[in-house]
């Protein structure tokens, strides 16, 4: 039994970060119905079909098409929302109101509804109507300017931060908090999650921001003890041209590393309190270069096994093909297979949250668009003739 069995969620999302909260809740047993826009033409062919089925953020969901611009489509959605527990939407502010599906409208018929809006800048403020993407949010949040080496442009961290660690995870948590509050009050509420807000919040938790508000010490790219300039927290190239990460920010772990590489004299370069925002000095940089020369004398995997035994914080810089074969990742069931009825094995990333009593499950791969439209409409009491008429009008596919 999933912890969220019986929770009904309607999802209106067009991008994976807005789809991920629903997937996380679906993994835990929620019934998630993805509302998709009917399209006259979809990309065809077996390749596209398989890509759709492998879509990570849509697994465990059902799918129906619904033309929300039509009066009939809006009426059907309101009927679905009247018995739903959660609505998740990822549009710009104002779009859902124009579609007759905003929180205020739906809450009148269903006051227990939890309504989560994921938008770039939130539902209010001077930027609320502006378009943007992950990198834009990170730049405005002060995050992007801190990532990378000091003498280069900032490094773009995929779209992990604003999109997923930010909006997706905060969205899922916000929904769960609102559901928990509903157990106490009997009322739902609007969960307003902004990609920019969550990026600022994540930055505030980092060590190099610790003393900004108290002492005015502003971090800079490539500076601070996590910036990559210090020998105890750096990326080193090995003899075989691969990369190794050393992350010994605790003095005793750094001591283990220095002894292991035969340079116990380097223990004096352990992390100090004055390194939160400054870059490494000339002596510290020289020590890092000496360590680089030492690390280049052996291959990556050889160093890794050796340093693990020495109780050192060390990591191999994997490519994705290596990552999916890692024994720890596989032991934790983070790479799993599901069976599709027509397309066979579908490989997926597993469930990161491990619950001892009510674990999540991957019940099926992502649905094809409109796979469950007829089933959903029948559940609303519609006859075959009524469904056929909706198809003729382009309300559903």
Cβ neighbour number for residue 279 with a 10 Å cutoff: 18
Angle, to 10 degrees, between the axis of helix 16-27 and the axis of helix 169-185?
50
Class of domain 233-317: alpha beta
pLDDT attached to residue 43: 53
Residue in the block written with tokens 């993805």? 34
pTM of the model: 0.94
Phi-psi region of 219 (alpha: psi -120 to 50; beta: other; left: phi over 0): beta
Per-residue 3-state assignment (H helix, E strand, C coil) for the chain: CCCCCCCEEEEECCCHHHHHHHHHHHHCCCEEEEEECCCCCCCCCHHHHHHHHCCHHHCCEEEEECCCCCHHHHHHHHHHHCCCCEEEECCCCCHHHHCCCCHHHHHHHCCCCEEEEEECCCCCCCCCCCCCCHHHHHHHCCCHHHCCCCCCCCCCCCCHHHHHHHHHHHHHHHHHHHHHHHHHHCCCCEEEEEHHHHHHHHHHCCHHHCCHHHHCCCCCCCCCCCCCCCCCEEEEECCCCCEEEEECCCHHHHHHHHHHCCCHHHHHHCCCHHHCCCCCCHHHHHHHHHHHHHHCCCCHHHHHHHHHHCCCCEEECCCHHHHCCCHHHHHCCCEEEEEECCCEEEEEECCCCCCCCCCCCCCCCCCCCCCCHHHHHHHCCCCHHHHHHHHHHCCCC
What is the tens place of the pLDDT at every residue in 358-382?
Answer: 999 999 889 988 899 999 999 999 9
User: 8-202+342-393: what fold?
Assistant: Rossmann fold (3.40.50)
pLDDT attached to residue 157: 94
Average pLDDT over residues 291-306: 98
Lowest average pLDDT, out of 14-18, 26-30, 82-86, goes to: 14-18
pLDDT attached to residue 126: 98
What is the tens place of the pLDDT at every residue in 97-137?
Answer: 999 999 999 999 999 999 999 999 999 999 999 999 999 99
Going from the C-alpha of 51 to that of each of 14, 97, 319, the distances in angstroms are 16, 33, 21
Domain chopping of the chain, boundaries: 8-202+342-393, 233-317
> How many Å separate Cα 173 from the centre of its chain?
12
CB 122 within 8 A of CB 194: yes
Average pLDDT over residues 282-295: 97
Computed on alpha carbons and rounded to an integer, the radius of gyration of the chain in Å comes to 25
Report the C-alpha dihedral over residues 47, 52, 57, 59, rounded to 10 degrees: -120
Active site residues: 133, 163
Integer Cα distance of 89 and 12 in angstroms:
5
| 41, pLDDT greater than 50 | no
């Amino acid at each position: 039994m999933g912890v969220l069995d019986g929770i009904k969620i309607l999802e209106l999302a067009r991008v994976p970060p807005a789809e991920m909260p629903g997937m996380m809740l679906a993994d835990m047993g929620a019934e998630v119905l993805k509302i998709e826009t009917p399209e006259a033409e979809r990309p065809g062919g077996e390749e596209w079909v398989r890509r759709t089925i492998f879509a990570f953020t849509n697994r465990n969901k059902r799918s129906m098409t619904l033309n929300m611009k039509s009066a009939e489509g809006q009426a059907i959605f309101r009927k679905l929302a009247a018995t739903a527990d959660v609505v998740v939407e990822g549009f710009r502010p104002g779009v859902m109101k124009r579609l007759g599906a905003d929180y205020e409208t739906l809450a009148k018929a269903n006051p227990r509804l939890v309504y989560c809006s994921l938008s770039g800048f939130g539902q209010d403020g001077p930027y609320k109507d502006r378009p943007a993407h992950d990198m834009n949010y990170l730049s405005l949040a002060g995050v992007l300017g801190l990532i990378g080496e000091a003498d280069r442009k900032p490094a773009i961290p995929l779209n992990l931060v604003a999109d997923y660690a930010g909006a997706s995870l905060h969205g899922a948590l916000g929904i769960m908090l609102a559901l928990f509050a509903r157990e106490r009050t009997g009322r739902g509420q609007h969960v307003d999650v902004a990609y920019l807000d969550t990026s600022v919040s994540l930055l505030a938790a980092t060590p190099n921001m610790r003393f900004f508000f108290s002492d005015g010490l502003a971090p800079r790219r490539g500076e601070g003890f996590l910036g990559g300039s210090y020998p105890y927290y750096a990326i080193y190239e090995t003899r075989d041209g691969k990369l190794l990460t050393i992350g010994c920010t605790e003095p005793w772990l750094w001591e283990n590393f220095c002894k292991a590489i035969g340079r116990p004299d380097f223990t004096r370069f352990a992390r100090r309190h004055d390194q939160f925002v400054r870059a490494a000095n000339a002596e510290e940089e020289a020590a890092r270069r000496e360590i680089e020369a030492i690390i280049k004398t052996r291959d990556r995997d050889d160093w890794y096994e050796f340093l693990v035994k020495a109780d050192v914080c060390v990591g191999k810089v994997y490519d994705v093909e290596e990552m999916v074969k890692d024994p720890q990742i596989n032991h934790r069931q983070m790479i799993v297979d599901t069976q599709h009825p027509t397309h066979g094995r579908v490989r997926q990333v597993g469930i990161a949250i491990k619950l001892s009593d009510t674990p999540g499950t991957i019940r099926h791969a992502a649905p094809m668009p409109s796979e469950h439209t007829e089933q959903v409409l029948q559940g609303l009491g519609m006859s075959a003739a009524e469904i056929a008429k909706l198809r003729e009008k382009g309300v559903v596919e």
